Structure 1
């Protein structure tokens, strides 16, 4: 019975996540955001279920939610979700096994990127730089190749601000990940 219950929760979480991402794709392509609340409700439900199951998928679900809030210009809501991801995934329970710890670092790095872009939108350049630096450290520590293009974006941001040395170091890190 317990195995069936866990399988049911897992299936429900995946269904909510799939529904939300499908709706996001539709909304993004049509740029009509009616019904956006359904997306966030599905993502919240999926994140809650994944958290109950003790899987790191809750972090990825929260990141999707934060990115969705950013897409519709709800920067305060996005900010609070990004902060939650950075806080929750720093919990020691995600420190083992190493593969989970590295994935947690990757997700936290992505959350710091979101926080950095929110700071850019709010014209808080110093905060943006600090958040991007935190993102770089986490993405490099994670060692996931998917971090390379993210690092390239951050390098471009530093380069635009005449910080060529930082951009050069970040690009070198991106090349090592690719």
Structure 2
């Protein structure tokens, strides 16, 4: 459990796979501390709070937290949530191993989690946006279902929905357009989901 700002510095010396962070500390901004934790090699992050605040949940998940629990909850539920996060993490690293993809002039580095436009300029994506893009790119042109993409970005059952995927896809398309007319780089497959277009 990380409770103080100074504790984050230990992550440099002792990297961890997962952090459970209590957002209700009186002297520390929980969300700001969460951002610092995610900057240390992107460990999995589970936030807990006594405040059932939708805005706080959305901000936390959008910045890259893996889950957000509102007290009261049992240790059994917390353990189950941690196991679910770890399962998702075990699935992701291997799928985005040392791998660079090139699509219509774009360079997508799945190891460094970077995407560069045809001119070589890096386009900044949120963690959720990149996770979604990586899942679509790794399908190799095959359609990826909305249900699978929802699982990829799902952090908390009552904080995400099918609209979450639609919103992230919309953001991705805007960022990948960059005035080049590349809005169809990610193509919608009606009734199925999305796929990357190689030509």
Q: Which TM-score band (shorter chain)?
A: 0.3 to 0.5
How does the TM-score come out when normalised to structure 2? 0.33
TM value normalised by structure 1: 0.36
The answer to which structure has the higher strand fraction is 2
